[in-house]
Structure 1
Amino acid sequence: MKIENWSLRLRVFLFFAFLAAAAIAAVIAGLALGFSRLDVPEAADGFIFAGAISGFVILGVVAWIWLMFDENVAKPIQRLAGGLLASTHANVEDTIDDKTARYLGDLAPAARAITENLAATRNKLAETVAQETTRLIEEKEKLTALSAEMPYGMVLVSGLHKIAFYNGAAAELLSSDQAPGLDHSIFDFLRPRPIQSAYARLCAGEGGDGHVLPLTVATRHGGHVLSARMRLMHAPDEGDVAPPYVLTLDDVTSDLTIHAEREKLLSRLFATLRPSIASLQTTLAARDTDDDLRADPRLDAALVSEMAKLTKVIAALDTEYETGKAEWWPMAQVRSSELCDALTAQLQQDDIKLVAEAADAMVLTLDAVQIISLLSHLARHISRTGGRALSFLVSRDDAGGAMLALGWSGEPLSVDELENWLSETLDVGLVDMKGRDILEAHGTEVWPEFGPASRTVLKLPIRQARRLRRTPGDGRRAVTYDFDLLSRTPAKELMDTPLSDLSYVVFDTETTGLLPSQGDEVCQIAALRVVNGKVIENEAIDQLVNPERNIPASSTEVHHITNAMVKDAPTIDLAGQQLHSFARGAVLVAHNAPFDLEFFRKHEVRIGVKFTNPVLDTVLLSAIVFGQSEEHTLDAIADRLGVKIPPEARHTAMGDTMATAEVFIKLLRMAEKKGIITFGDALTEMRKHKRLLQDANASHAVDLA
């Protein structure tokens, strides 16, 4: 081991130990020389006693000087170095404590002046950069919003087949038993052979000037069939022989099913008609050639029977055709609130006031243009015939779908008049599309009813609808990306992989107690993904867990999780599988990782997986950066690094996870500046502090596959 890699305090200790040893050796040598010249054997005891006293005095003085030096020089220098690192690489201000370094002369004021000047320069630079990039941020947000709302899934994949971008539609298409994430392999979600084949063909020069090829690919889980287009970002060249590519995805599973049903219906139709038609042709031919048969009543009865059978079969097939016809028309999912807004805006163009309300937040499967055109058409007729105070309500239907109700005050509507309105041609972008055609395309009907307070209501049910799950945010499907992933080089052996090239999952748990070996269990899990030194906001877990035991009141006082809150939550086997899937291919990060991992490792048989991910611990990283003698609680580290933890978020799984993630990102940058570049370097340094905390990698085989 190189001396320059030793810590300052260790080198100071060794210096004073050498000084003490040298002084004692000098005293012993002097006494031995004096005793040899005196040549009085009886004086030996006196010399030995004098040497022992001298040795103890030297040891005491040197030890006292070392302690004073360690406390007032070595430790302050170490704190000063940590503060300078935090200020330089973690953007922390006011990290220099003059009292701590009061015996270091001008060093502390000089360090403070450097950090203040650095902070001022950084603030000016940040202000300038912010002003210059405002327009770019606005354009990026517009592009993000546009990509998020695209109905087709879009995935940008590196030449190593790792995901660098995906929009909300892609997340829905790829999600089955595991959610997509940045730096995950696209082959975790889609079957590899069609993608590899299309990619090889494009790299070989197929696809024309646009470098585009169509393909069909199936998901690995869930059994969905996707129609896809692969486009290379650029042609292969010497600088980039494995260029990134874009996949555009559309789920055609239902389309293929509908097509198969139509083909099956046609096959049944022809298979049923052929024998009957052949029989009729034979009978009619016989009548034409034989006068006796023409007069035979049995032949007429046979013809009538065959015609009746044929009519019955055609009627049954027609019923099946009419039932399934609504499934064949291309539909989209529309929110009930959006339907209300669109109908209101459409009628405002004709100065017709409408009060629209969505009683239930739902997603309806329909052709929005057709339904809005039909409802607007009916509302205009109602207004022309004296209807007033028009209203529109979307509510949950008893059959599980949705009910659209268009109401008004005025004369009731007859069925004949309604049919006349439905027979008129509407402008929906198709030729000769009537209101009745729209209803048939949706497999539904419309009828008038008497409503409350002498009002009349037109009822129009929509068969396919589901309740909308309310989620935080602005309701848009998010876009997730990190284009720096496109330039990643092929992965090395784990120990030789730079820390900056690894993906991390920072997690935390809340538990029923502190003793997993004595029956305490997890009652909440939170996790965040960190890629390229950034927290990926759209990739997270925040899950309550049923511990299958009582949560003590003393634990509830800490994390505020009650037995009622976890009653219907998933148990550890499901929650553990979710965390394991979320963390695949990543390094696990936690504060006091052995504690949290023990709750999962004791249930590995039940969960069905082993938690063999590599592990980094913020406790040990803090000891590497700031020294083992400092306090390494999450609050203390966060305070040193300027990470603010809101009081209401402390001791919640997600609150602590967010704080740990921020702390980890800053510690990682500081550790790299101390020469800790690879995962192997970090592991070696962490194991030097095993007296502080056991390394969580020690008892399990490390696996990054």
Structure 2
Amino acid sequence: MAHRLGLRLRIFLFFCLMGLGGSAVVLLGLWAGYARTGGADPLDAFVIAALVSVLGLLALSVGVWLLFDENVARPIERLAAQLRSRAHAGVETDLDLHAARYLGDLAPAAAAMAGQLSASALDTAGAIAAETARLEAEKARLASLLTEVPLATILLSPAHQIVLYDGQAAGMLAQVAHPRLNASLFDYLERGAVEAAYARLVRTGREVSLTAAGADGAQRYSARMKPLGDAPGYLLILDDSTATLAPEAARPLVYDFALLDQPEHAGMEARRLQDLTYVVFDTETTGLLPHKDDIVQIGAVRVLRGRIVPGEEIDQLVDPDRPIPPASTRVHGISDAMVAGAPGLDPVARSFHRFASGAVIVAHNAPFDMAFLRRQAQQSGLVWDHPILDTVLLSAVLFGASESHTLDAICARLGIAIPEDRRHTALGDARATAQVLCRMLPMLEARGLATLGAVLEETRRHGRLLEDLN
């Protein structure tokens, strides 16, 4: 019967309860004071009456607030988060109507609206899917053709940021560092030769030849730099090199043409969330104490313009130079035999540091994982000055601090499935966290948190969650 009451009537009854309860408490306090007036001093009786009234009103207010919070405030917060998930992250889970049963017609109306929007979206998606399939087929043919051409091809923006690279280029870049979209070409080739050739290209508008050493100084490359006509940027083709490229597994053509027109910003915190590069990572360790345990595996993926970049990932075992406790092996499945012969943490951390250059680092419970890296940095001299986002705090911003913020709970909330055999592996958890991030970014922007600085400021309000978690 109670759930049939209207929302406005229910709120009215809440405050009627507070008014009637407050009156009853005052009357009880006065009665208690009156009962004490038989003594010699009536002041003592009215002090008792005042204390009973004040304490009673406080208790009543807390009780009504708890009822209001449990039956109105929290359900509204949860319903808003679920609607935002459907609207901006494409989550198709059903709305929790039972939790919102005391909100009158609000929850059924929201569910009806969400259903209608989903139906319209499905119709639109059907038309888009057909066109997308055609474009994907053309892209696959283009990628296949470019991959068969025995030249390393890299498309760069005017700021020398990588916009496209093919399979051969991936093999070349990997000799120096992990291939990465939106990375600076100077992470791979010496700056002087490239800038001098680019200056000639801009001055003449014609193809320019150059020879450049690798950024590590170990190799030299012969290349051609070609203009793109009226489009910004240029094409770099490596015709020949003294480097011996290691055989690479087949890689897709990796590109994002929007990077050609990416505006420059004074600082990272002022940039829009969708314009940033993110490196999402996770670690597996010998235990849960960063000051004494060690990393046994690092997994990382890159997210650019709201999508996971295919092929740009790290999946590296690490030799901790100590036995792995059986209890830890039971969690992540990594044994002493598996890490035998693997590199130590120092070269792996340096490689990961280069992989995360110019990016925002993202992790689930980031203080835990970063504590291991920062302990190693005290010996190696690496500086971890990247901005850091934590999906625990992002979840608190979007869904409320009172909800569960484990990785499994967030994935279930956002409709993300973690393969059972990939859970509690560094790369598997990093991929799941990256999927979470991709769905959260449009939700954050819908909340009015459009820049990195705004998100960082908002997450600081929930910092206590991480303190409790760790």
Cα deviation code 1:209-257 (max 9, x no counterpart): xx42222222222432222222222348xxxxxx211111123437xxx
The secondary structure found in structure 1 opposite 2:465 is coil
Equivalence for 1:656: 429
Does residue 637 (structure 1) correspond to residue 399 (structure 2)? The answer is no
Does residue 228 (structure 1) correspond to residue 223 (structure 2)? The answer is yes
1:455-466 equivalences under 5 Å are: none
The secondary structure found in structure 2 opposite 1:620 is helix
How many angstroms apart in 2 are the aligned matches of 1:577 and 1:142? 37
The secondary structure found in structure 1 opposite 2:72 is helix
Match 1:250 to one of 231, 239, 243: 239
Match 2:349 to one of 533, 557, 576: 576
How many angstroms apart in 1 are the aligned matches of 2:98 and 2:467? 33
1:63-462 equivalences under 5 Å are: 63-204=62-203, 206-207=204-205, 211-235=206-230, 243-253=232-242
Residue type matched to 1:251 in 2?
Answer: D
How many angstroms apart in 2 are the aligned matches of 1:173 and 1:615? 30
How many angstroms apart in 1 are the aligned matches of 2:131 and 2:310? 25
The secondary structure found in structure 1 opposite 2:158 is coil
Post-superposition offset of 1:676: 1.0
Post-superposition offset of 1:660: 0.5
Closer/same/farther in 2, CA of residues 592 and 653 from structure 1, 3 Å limit: same
Ranked by relative contact order (alpha carbons within 8 Å, sequence separation 6 or more), the top structure is 2
Match 2:331 to one of 526, 541, 558: 558
How many angstroms apart in 2 are the aligned matches of 1:578 and 1:73? 50
How many residues align? The count is: 445
**Contact 1:687/1:695 (8 A) holds in 2:** no
Equivalence for 1:324: none
Residue type matched to 1:175 in 2?
Answer: A
Does residue 668 (structure 1) correspond to residue 441 (structure 2)? The answer is yes
Equivalence for 1:303: none
How many angstroms apart in 2 are the aligned matches of 1:57 and 1:695? 33
Post-superposition offset of 1:175: 2.8
How many angstroms apart in 2 are the aligned matches of 1:661 and 1:654? 10
How many angstroms apart in 1 are the aligned matches of 2:94 and 2:192? 55
Post-superposition offset of 1:118: 2.0
Match 1:484 to one of 253, 258, 269: 258
Does residue 532 (structure 1) correspond to residue 305 (structure 2)? The answer is yes
Percent identity over paired residues: 47
Closer/same/farther in 2, CA of residues 150 and 686 from structure 1, 3 Å limit: same
How many angstroms apart in 1 are the aligned matches of 2:177 and 2:131? 40
Residue type matched to 2:283 in 1?
Answer: T
The secondary structure found in structure 1 opposite 2:208 is strand
How many angstroms apart in 2 are the aligned matches of 1:149 and 1:595? 44
How many angstroms apart in 2 are the aligned matches of 1:593 and 1:623? 14
How many angstroms apart in 1 are the aligned matches of 2:59 and 2:84? 35
How many angstroms apart in 2 are the aligned matches of 1:555 and 1:76? 39
How many angstroms apart in 2 are the aligned matches of 1:198 and 1:95? 57
How many angstroms apart in 2 are the aligned matches of 1:642 and 1:693? 24
For structure 1, list consecutive stretches of 5 or more residues without a partner in the other structure: 1-11, 36-40, 237-242, 255-331, 334-467, 697-705
Cα deviation code 1:79-128 (max 9, x no counterpart): 00000011111111124111110101111111111222222222222221
RMSD (Å) for aligned C-alpha atoms:
2.8
How many angstroms apart in 2 are the aligned matches of 1:86 and 1:634? 16
Post-superposition offset of 1:504: 0.6
How many angstroms apart in 2 are the aligned matches of 1:626 and 1:477? 38
Equivalence for 1:398: none
Residue type matched to 1:563 in 2?
Answer: D
Closer/same/farther in 2, CA of residues 671 and 695 from structure 1, 3 Å limit: farther
Post-superposition offset of 1:694: 4.7
Closer/same/farther in 2, CA of residues 222 and 132 from structure 1, 3 Å limit: same
TM-score, normalised by the number of residues in structure 1: 0.60
How many angstroms apart in 1 are the aligned matches of 2:211 and 2:92? 54
How many angstroms apart in 2 are the aligned matches of 1:121 and 1:593? 39
Equivalence for 1:449: none
Cα deviation code 1:366-403 (max 9, x no counterpart): xxxxxxxxxxxxxxxxxxxxxxxxxxxxxxxxxxxxxx
How many angstroms apart in 2 are the aligned matches of 1:148 and 1:175? 16
Post-superposition offset of 1:483: 1.0
How many angstroms apart in 1 are the aligned matches of 2:94 and 2:130? 28
Residue type matched to 2:228 in 1?
Answer: M
**Contact 1:574/1:607 (8 A) holds in 2:** no
Cα deviation code 1:174-225 (max 9, x no counterpart): 3334122101011111122232233233333x13xxx422222222224322
Residue type matched to 1:567 in 2?
Answer: A
Equivalence for 2:54: 55
How many angstroms apart in 1 are the aligned matches of 2:70 and 2:120? 33
How many angstroms apart in 1 are the aligned matches of 2:428 and 2:187? 30
Post-superposition offset of 1:46: 2.6
How many angstroms apart in 1 are the aligned matches of 2:437 and 2:155? 28
How many angstroms apart in 2 are the aligned matches of 1:574 and 1:252? 26
Does residue 595 (structure 1) correspond to residue 368 (structure 2)? The answer is yes
How many angstroms apart in 1 are the aligned matches of 2:262 and 2:215? 25
Does residue 496 (structure 1) correspond to residue 233 (structure 2)? The answer is no
How many angstroms apart in 1 are the aligned matches of 2:374 and 2:468? 15
Post-superposition offset of 1:663: 0.6
Equivalence for 2:284: 510
Equivalence for 2:451: 678
Closer/same/farther in 2, CA of residues 650 and 252 from structure 1, 3 Å limit: closer
**Contact 1:522/1:545 (8 A) holds in 2:** yes
Residue type matched to 2:239 in 1?
Answer: D
**Contact 1:503/1:529 (8 A) holds in 2:** yes
Closer/same/farther in 2, CA of residues 99 and 523 from structure 1, 3 Å limit: same
TM-score, normalised by the number of residues in structure 2: 0.88
How many angstroms apart in 2 are the aligned matches of 1:56 and 1:166? 71
Cα deviation code 1:570-627 (max 9, x no counterpart): 1111111111111111111000000011111111133341222111000000000001
Post-superposition offset of 1:638: 0.3
Residue type matched to 1:250 in 2?
Answer: D
How many angstroms apart in 1 are the aligned matches of 2:349 and 2:406? 26
**Contact 1:165/1:482 (8 A) holds in 2:** yes
How many angstroms apart in 1 are the aligned matches of 2:351 and 2:223? 28
How many angstroms apart in 2 are the aligned matches of 1:222 and 1:250? 19
For structure 2, list consecutive stretches of 5 or more residues without a partner in the other structure: 1-10, 35-39
Post-superposition offset of 1:516: 1.8
Cα deviation code 1:263-290 (max 9, x no counterpart): xxxxxxxxxxxxxxxxxxxxxxxxxxxx
Residue type matched to 2:165 in 1?
Answer: Y
Residue type matched to 1:692 in 2?
Answer: L
Residue type matched to 2:278 in 1?
Answer: Y
Cα deviation code 1:484-517 (max 9, x no counterpart): 1112101321221222221110000111111122
**Contact 1:214/1:228 (8 A) holds in 2:** yes
How many angstroms apart in 1 are the aligned matches of 2:80 and 2:329? 40
**Contact 1:176/1:222 (8 A) holds in 2:** no
Q: Deviation above 6 Å: which 4+ runs of structure 1?
A: none
How many angstroms apart in 1 are the aligned matches of 2:428 and 2:119? 30
**Contact 1:164/1:486 (8 A) holds in 2:** yes
